[in-house]
Amino acid sequence: METTEIKESLKAIFTDTLGHNSFELEDDTTAKDVDGWDSVTHMMLINEIEKKYNIKFSLMDLMNLENIGSLIKAIKSKVGSSLIYVALCELLELESLVLLV
Amino acid sequence: MKILQTLQESMKEHSLRNAFLINGTYYTYGQLGSKISGIRRLVQDQVPSSEKFIGVVTNDDLETYASMIALWFEGKAYVPINPIYPKTRNKEILEQTESTYILDSSDTKYLDDGFHVLSAGNLSTQGMDLCPKTVHPESFAYVIFTSGSTGVPKGAPITFKNLDSFASAIDENLSFSLYPSDRCLQMFELTFDMSVVSFLAPLLKGACVYTLSKKGIKYFEIVKLLSEYQLTVLIMVPSIIHYLRPYFKEIHCPSVRYSCFAGGKLFGEIAKEWNKCIPNAQIINYYGPTETTIYCGGYLFNKEGGNKHENDVLSIGKPFPNTSYMIIDENGEELGVGKTGELCIAGEQLFPGYIKNEEKNKQVFFTVEHGGRSHRFYKTGDLCYKDADGDYMYVGRADFQVKIRGFRVELGEIEYHVKTKLVGMDVVVIDVPDGMGNLELGLAVCSNKIDLEPVISHLKEVLPPYMIPTQFLFLDQFPHSVNDKVDMKELRARFTDLKTKHI
């Protein structure tokens, strides 16, 4: 997945959750730079991102987020591992099917 | 006053131990003492002795904490001025308390017009002056402003006697007892009174206060501090564990000895789950309004189960020995065991009354003659009942005051400010669940969809961030209950259904 593509979806999620679009999302953008991005909306943003990409962040992932750049990195690595996971599941299912046969 | 003496002794005895960790830097009791001494000299030189209330700009640094304690040693009250809140509100607070002097550790003064601002940073640190002045017990130690329904915040001043009594009441009560080796969390804004116990209780015992960095997301910063420094004492509002709940499986902190809650409803179910993250901790559910000095009673949670609760809200237990509770009905008659009514509180922790607000003082106080003595009671606005063992259960609020992120909010105050911009329109501000177990503020307007941007910008100018509504709803007509009041339950349901977003 491309960084620009993720940035676009993030922009949409932020606009929807925060109720405005007067912000830019650059790699070094932090919560301080975006009006309304606080402790409360942070959780809503995370929930929306998790839903959109069908991923689940761990507490460690979230504690290490520093800016938009690290958020995008975290999404990429999560999506990557969840793809591998899906592939594994499919493989296993195939095998179990084989066994059933 | 005993607390001031104990503070002085603690600073002497533990001078080489750490008193604070602020933004990653440790400060010893010796360093704290020398800062306090410097600020005392400044206050003695610059501030007339008639000045009783002094503003303190609440920065995240040693100077700010030292300023508050220095004022105590001088027998003065601090008025916390939070730079993240609107200046108009802060000025209103300074005006109400007639504070003209402000201690400020910021590089650039937060306020300058019309105030004497004393810089609390970069003071000479020669010689120690930690002997407290003789302080009158009825003198004020600090003032906390809470939301008022007329649009003006209410100032609740707490006396040294109140604070002294509080400090003795919590020590070695409900199993709570601190040692110099304890590492204690201070997560609160200094404009919220739970900050007072969070720094005072450790300092009285030579323990170390770990303050929360304001840079990150609050609940994650707490977990970072907790795991990095193996904290032993946590004083928090319940909303923190609601946010952390999805990640409980990843939290394991056997170092925690006490996990104290106050400032909101603590549910039994989440307390039990949280206790698994901190397996060696005793959870204590404290209760008390700001007006009765931080908290005035509590309940010991039993992790094995069998806890008392009302709709899963844990019991608030019994009052401290220095405090009495009483439940009354609408006519002011005392109610017996099992009957729900308004909880009223008397005792040594009860504040003398709101600043310059006789009308409100008349409403909230009443006196009861008992055994030839008169006792002054304060009406909390909380609905409770007492069980046969004398434990109190919390049922809900009697009025429209709610808690948002631990802060008390009068919905009426927000409505008041909304109406100044939406003249003639029917509006209701209501607390709505955010789906994660916490409350958000919803603004319902009786109108076609309009641009609320001017309203919100106005609110941001006059109210602190936690009082700004985040959900919006436009209706042709508000739902009404049979007795013609706006049906809050129905309205809340519409918010949850629609989740209409602003713009």
At A74, which CATH number? 1.10.1200.10
Spatial CA neighbour of B322 closest among B294, B300, B342, B354: B294
Q: Which of A16, A22, A37, A39 to mutate to test the interface with B (most CBs of B within 10 A)?
A: A39
Instruction: Tell me how many domains chain A contains.
Output: 1
Residues of B with Cβ-Cβ distance to A31 under 8 angstroms: 216-217
Cα of A56 to nearest chain B Cα, Å = 10
Tokens of B215: 């840079």
Residue-wise pLDDT tens digits, B279-312: 999 999 999 999 999 999 999 999 999 999 998 8
Give the model confidence (pLDDT) of A61-96 as tens digits.
998 898 999 999 999 999 887 767 666 666 666 555
Query: Is B250's CB within 8 Å of A59's CB?
Result: yes
Exposed / middle / buried, residue B255 (Cβ in 10 Å: 0-12, 13-18, 19+): middle
ipTM above 0.85, yes or no: no
Q: How far apart are CA B337 and CA B331, in angstroms?
A: 17
What is the pTM assigned to this prediction? 0.84
How far apart are alpha carbons B224 and B220 in whole angstroms? 6
All residues of chain B having their beta carbon less than 8 Å from the beta carbon of residue A32 are 215
Chain A and chain B share a number of CB contacts under 8 A equal to 41
DSSP states along B261-303: E-SSPPBHHHHHHHHHHSTTPEEEEEE--GGGSS--EEEE--T
Q: Higher confidence at residue B414 or residue B482?
A: B414
Domain boundaries, chain B: 2-314, 409-498
Mutate to test the interface with A, among B187, B214, B215, B470 (most CBs of A within 10 A): B470
Query: Is-contact B8 B128, C-beta < 8 A?
Result: no
Structural domain harbouring A65: 3-100
pLDDT digits (tens, 9 = 90+) for B206-265: 999 999 988 778 889 999 999 999 999 999 999 899 889 889 999 999 999 999 999 888
pLDDT in tens, B421-469: 998 778 889 999 887 778 899 999 988 889 999 999 999 999 999 999 9
With an 8 Å Cβ cutoff, is A79 touching chain B? no
CB contact under 8 A, B405 and A31: no
Cα–Cα distance measured from residue B80 to residue B189, given in angstroms and rounded to the nearest whole number: 9
Query: Does the CB of A41 have a partner CB in chain B at under 8 Å?
Result: yes
- The minimum CA-CA distance between B501 and chain A, rounded to whole Å, is 7
Q: Which CATH superfamily is domain B2-314 in?
A: ANL, N-terminal domain (3.40.50.12780)
Closest to A59 (Cβ–Cβ): which among B251, B470, B501? B251
- The pLDDT assigned to B160 comes to 98
The predicted structure's pLDDT at residue A85: 66
Test the B interface: residue of A14, A15, A32, A40 with most B CBs within 10 Å: A40
- Superfamily (CATH H level) for B409-498: ANL, C-terminal domain (3.30.300.30)
